[in-house]
Homo-oligomer: A and B are copies of this chain.
């Protein structure tokens, strides 16, 4: 199996061969140019700019891999701000000894995800570090999105509804199951998906409705909600019975002692809107595969501002605090 060598990261012929023969060949001729920068068509208006490095282990898992994750994660970071994701960069840090077969698999997955999301990978970089210098491959994607108009409107107030675009915990539990040798269930798979089309459809149908939106990655939905209420004059109440969680995910969570509200997702948003729009937004989300399990999961309250509460199945209330650290490292 042909392996990546230190020389593939240097400024010579080996690097050029890898860029021409593998990277550019797969990602497309515009991608990973040898020029220092990509020149992008004229833009008019505000742009959004985001970056994420992906260090997930294992690299490949049901429902995705580090390549699709790197594209979809950055696409979603732009989409939740109300920007239309357009251009991505792709910077690889590869450990010596990583095989070309694995690299090609990752790049093909990136290309497929980029095509699916409707974004172009326009510039890139490749570094090779010695064995033990990185964990096989790390990918950074940065992204540029164009604002067509403001997405987020209005102040969050008591009575507003909290929506999850679907089942929670799928990504984190998939990765964790693999690490623990629990990948027996074919139904547990990452929700890794681009959300830009669904978000755009919601925004077009309800242009003044969305007050807050965030993809619930590291730290899960409970961490996103804690971010929203922090230092604000309202609290968030989540109804346990309304939180969509797949049976298999719930089962593994209970086996591993994890709470799905804190488990990472890679294709779910938490959205807040006025009560009057909530049912409509959920219906609009459900017309998309990635929103097919959308639910209203909670309400904004004025009691105990700054806190997130869970109303449990049996009617009790407990605080969902901001955890000191996430339960699952290296999840994205």
Q: Which residues of A contact B (CB under 8 A)?
A: 5-16, 34-55, 76-78, 80-81, 83, 87, 89-93, 122-125, 127-130, 132-135, 138, 140, 142-145, 147, 214-215, 217-220, 223, 227, 264, 322-330
Contacts and interface: CB of A to CB of B under 8 A. Distances in A.
B6 A325 contact: yes
A128 B218 CA distance: 12
A16 B219 CA distance: 11
A93 B37 contact: no
A78 to B, nearest CB: 5
Contacts of A52: 91, 125
A46 B42 contact: yes
A34 to B, nearest CB: 6
Given A10-B329, A12-B223, A78-B37, A49 B89 contact: yes
Q: Which 7 A-B pairs have the closest CB atoms?
A: A11-B219, A7-B325, A10-B326, A11-B218, A142-B142, A51-B89, A36-B77
> Copies per complex?
2
Nearest to A87: B49
A39 B78 CA distance: 10
26 contacts: A10-B327, A11-B220, A11-B264, A13-B324, A14-B324, A14-B325, A35-B81, A36-B50, A36-B77, A36-B80, A36-B81, A37-B49, A37-B77, A37-B78, A37-B81, A38-B49, A40-B49, A44-B44, A49-B122, A49-B123, A49-B142, A51-B89, A55-B134, A129-B135, A133-B135, A138-B138
A140 B7 contact: no
Given A9-B329, A14-B324, A49-B142, 10 more contacts: A7-B326, A11-B223, A12-B223, A13-B323, A14-B325, A37-B48, A37-B81, A39-B46, A49-B122, A53-B127
Contacts of A327: 10
A182 to B, nearest CB: 21
B44 A40 contact: no
A5 B324 CA distance: 11
B138 A10 contact: no
Given A41-B46, A55-B133, A12 B326 contact: yes
A287 to B, nearest CB: 24
Contacts of A87: 49
Contacts of A144: 47, 49, 144
Contact of A93 (B5, B55, B76): B55
Contacts of A44: 42-44
Nearest to A47: B40
Given A11-B220, A43-B43, A124-B51, A36 B325 contact: no
